Amino acid sequence: MTVFEGNFTQTESFKFAIVIGRFNDLITTKLLEGCQDCLKRHGVDPNPHGNQVDYVWVPGSFEVSMVAHQMALSHRYDAVICLGAVIRGQTPHFDYVAGEVAKGIAAASFQTGVPVIFGIVTVDTMQQALERAGIKSNKGWDYAMGALEMASLMRQIKGQPGVQVFPVTPNLAIASEISQNLL
Ligand code: INI
């Protein structure tokens, strides 16, 4: 039998989409920098004018999952990375925003069969957010590592003879095929 495990080499042909919330952009721009740094050091060209990474800016974390879903549905990417910052101190509807984006990202991944990385920092204070966006460490780096590993893993799984990765929801499977001009 086989052990499947993602690695961090042979990344030249990977394609990623990064969806970033503008809300709390003091944090999200730093997460993006960490993410780009990691991709670059693992052989991915993060230049927006290159051919490996597309970027989409949306108003806030609430909108991130919807756009990530659309990007994943296009099947043009090995993984989609979602970046956002939801800070409890700033919003009485923290639980709604954080909860919805988490559910939306999970659904996007399940329904398309494309890895969609949960790069949403959910914290109580701006201080905690800053600590995760470069002061102590930069979680953007970790999110990019997750995307690289999953991209590699999914290519290995899909590369197995007779193995196809299907979206989970039948209707979306059809939508996915339509988006690839297979129907
Ligand atoms: N969006 C965030 O990304 N983080 C937040 O902390 C936040 N707060 O505090 O409200 C936030 N709100 C905006 C939300 O994501 C939507 O853009 C907005 O509700 C419009 O749909």
Q: Is the distance from the beta carbon of residue 98 to the nearest atom of ligand 1 less than 6 Å? A: no
Q: Is the distance from the beta carbon of residue 86 to the nearest atom of ligand 1 less than 6 Å? A: yes
Minimum-distance ligand 1 atom for the alpha carbon of 87: 6
Q: Is 93 a catalytic residue?
A: yes
Q: Report residue 10 as tokens.
A: 């042979």
Q: Is the distance from the beta carbon of residue 122 to the nearest atom of ligand 1 less than 6 Å? A: no
Closest CA to 83 of 107, 64, 102: 64
Q: Can you give the pLDDT at residue 60?
A: 97
Minimum-distance ligand 1 atom for the alpha carbon of 58: 17
Rounded Cα gap, residues 46 and 18, in angstroms: 10
pLDDT digit of tens for each residue in the chain (183 aa)?
889 999 999 999 999 999 999 999 999 999 999 999 999 999 999 999 999 999 999 999 999 999 999 999 999 999 999 999 999 986 678 889 999 999 999 999 999 999 999 999 999 999 999 999 999 999 999 999 999 999 999 999 988 766 666 665 545 555 555 455 554
* Residue 140: HSE in the Cβ half-sphere, 13 Å Cα cutoff: 27
Q: Is the distance from the beta carbon of residue 23 to the nearest atom of ligand 1 less than 6 Å? A: yes
